């Protein structure tokens, strides 16, 4: 097994209609943004996830967790209730369309984008583990950007909670979910590089992200596809 890419533990538990798309994305990520030395990233389709030695029910599309001691064992879990082989794909379609309607994930509707989003979390963790000074230098501007717009974040959240549309004058976040926290901002921006529309890809956060990735992966082919 190629240690540079995500190790898919249980592909037979994924809905068969999604298998080729998920495998293609695993290959692409492994080629453009390989798993960094010293880390391991696995993918599992599950109805539960383990945190603090307790099992919890999965909600949403998926999540990313890591070993609290070593932090180098990174696990991506896709929610089997929406991605599972035994489910019809209605729930997944319903979620994707609902999120598109309120722009929760911007323009992203491909069922594979949540995997890319989760790999964004894995990537942030790996960069932080292995290249702390680099992470601070490159991710710093993104964090500062996020922090300095804290009041906007609050407004944005309130708007979302109360169900009214956010004014056009809030250009900072490409997706509503990106306004949740620094890590979600990072993961959403990373996903947009591949699954976003042209306007999203040309945004300031995406430009910052490309700069960071160029430093982490000088050999990467990412510029070819962006």
Question: Segment near Zn ion (CB under 5 A), from 40-48, 66-74, 151-159, 183-191?
Answer: 183-191
Question: Segment near Zn ion (CB under 5 A), from 17-25, 73-81, 137-145, 185-193?
Answer: 185-193
Place of tokens 């050999």: 219
Instruction: Say how many residues touch Zn ion, by CB under 5 A.
Output: 2
Beta carbon nearer to Zn ion, 34 or 120: 120
β-pair type (40-46, 7-8):
parallel
3-state DSSP percent of the chain in helix, strand and coil, to 5: 55, 15, 35
Question: Segment near Zn ion (CB under 5 A), from 32-40, 154-162, 181-189, 218-226?
Answer: 181-189
Beta carbon nearer to Zn ion, 8 or 61: 61
Beta carbon nearer to Zn ion, 182 or 221: 182
CB distance 108 to 196 below 8 Å? yes
Is residue 187 a contact residue for Zn ion (CB under 5 A)?
yes
Of 172, 24, 3, 214, the residue nearest 112 (C-alpha): 24
Question: Segment near Zn ion (CB under 5 A), from 66-74, 129-137, 162-170, 187-195?
Answer: 187-195
Beta carbon nearer to Zn ion, 85 or 128: 128
Instruction: Please report how close the Cβ of residue 218 comes to Zn ion at its closest, in angstroms.
Output: 27
β-pair type (40-46, 73-79):
parallel
Burial of 54 (0-12, 13-18, 19+ CB in 10 A): exposed
Handedness of CA 75, 135, 146, 96 (dihedral sign): negative
Beta carbon nearer to Zn ion, 15 or 117: 117
Binding site for Zn ion (CB under 5 A): 184, 187
């Amino acid at each position: 097994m190629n240690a540079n890419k995500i190790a898919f533990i249980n592909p037979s538990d994924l809905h068969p209609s999604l298998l080729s798309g998920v495998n293609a994305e695993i290959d692409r990520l492994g080629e453009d943004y390989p798993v960094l030395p010293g880390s391991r990233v696995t993918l599992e389709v599950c109805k539960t996830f383990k945190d603090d030695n307790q099992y919890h029910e999965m909600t949403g599309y998926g999540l990313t967790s890591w070993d609290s001691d070593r932090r180098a064992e990174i696990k991506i879990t896709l929610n089997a209730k929406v991605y599972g082989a035994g489910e019809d794909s209605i729930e997944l379609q319903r979620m994707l369309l609902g999120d598109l309607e309120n722009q929760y994930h911007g323009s992203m509707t491909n069922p594979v984008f949540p995997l890319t989003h989760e790999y964004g979390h894995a990537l942030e963790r790996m960069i932080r583990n292995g290249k702390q000074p680099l992470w601070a230098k490159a991710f710093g501007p993104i964090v500062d950007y996020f922090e300095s717009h804290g009041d906007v974040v609050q407004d944005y959240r309130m708007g979302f909670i109360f169900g009214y549309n956010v004014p056009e004058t809030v250009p900072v976040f490409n997706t509503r979910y990106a306004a949740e926290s620094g890590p979600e901002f990072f993961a959403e921006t990373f996903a947009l590089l591949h699954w976003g529309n042209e306007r999203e890809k040309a945004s300031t956060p995406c430009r910052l992200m490309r700069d960071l990735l160029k430093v982490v992966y000088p050999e990467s082919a990412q510029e070819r596809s962006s």
